[in-house]
Amino acid sequence: MKTHNKGKITILVILFAITFQIQSLSAQVNAVEVMNKVTATQSHDSAALDITLTLIETNGEERERRIQTLTRLNNGNTESITIFLSPASVKQTRFLTLEKDGQDEQWIYLPALKQSKRISSGEQTGSFMGSDFSYADMSATTFSQDEATHTYLKTEIINGRDTFVIESVPYVSSSYGKSIVWVDSETYLPMKVELYDKNKTTLLKQLNTKKIEQLSGEWTATVMEMITVSTGHKTQIKISQAKYGIPIPSGYFSIQFLKTGRI
């Protein structure tokens, strides 16, 4: 009996310690500070990423596409170019995003048509190259302090990692009515993001981070999966290589490169 009682006390002590740790962590959470750190963690002066984009049908059929994305900050504005490398059906498709005065301007070049077009505001919710990411998602899936009000909801453990759960309601024009993001308390990477319709109750998409690693000395979400709730269709992003803080010629981020593939 004595051994049994000691065991029960030990379990209670452990449970109390875990609960106390979570409560202490929660008491210090400032939602705005958390989201500022999320933004800072994902912001780099420049980045070059090699990515495998896999479209996963509801019947399990997969279509794989290899892309390279180059990103840089130019006077505080983010510029990015995405180049499709394979398969042949989409090779040399190029997608350009230029931030100006807090707004993103986007263009896409389709080699099959040998022409480029600007993505209008009405097309922002459209699927990017058949994936579960919209054109708007290609800019960001979380909101910064200047774009939304942020509210701390709770602390939750996902895949053995403590996360801060933050609700963001945008007060700027957005494709979504709100988002809920699970932020890793150690790396400040989003481990899960829920994106809701403008009615703020209907869940449209869910982004799950499957793996995080250090690439070029920076914590990076190397495997992510976006799910469209209504269809069950999925898109997986796998980053095989990442280089940060490297010089990237400005010519890549131009309409000329978009159209010709040459700088």
Each residue of 34-89: pLDDT tens digit?
A: 999 998 888 889 999 999 999 999 999 999 999 999 999 999 899 999 999 999 99
Distance, first Cα to last Cα, the chain: 80
pLDDT of residue 141: 74
pLDDT of residue 143: 74
Per-domain boundaries in the chain: 44-260
pLDDT of residue 144: 73
* CATH number given to 44-260: 2.50.20.10
pLDDT of residue 19: 42
Q: Are 234 and 225 in contact (CB under 8 A)?
A: yes
The residues of the chain scoring below 70 in pLDDT are: 1-27, 145
Query: Burial code of 130-168, b = ≥16 C-beta within 10 A, e = fewer?
Result: ebbbbbbbbeebbbbeebbebebeebeeeeebbbbbbbb
pLDDT of residue 27: 52
Single-letter residue type at 208? N
pLDDT of residue 10: 53
Task: Give the separation between CA 175 and CA 141, rounded to whole angstroms.
Answer: 10
pLDDT of residue 173: 75
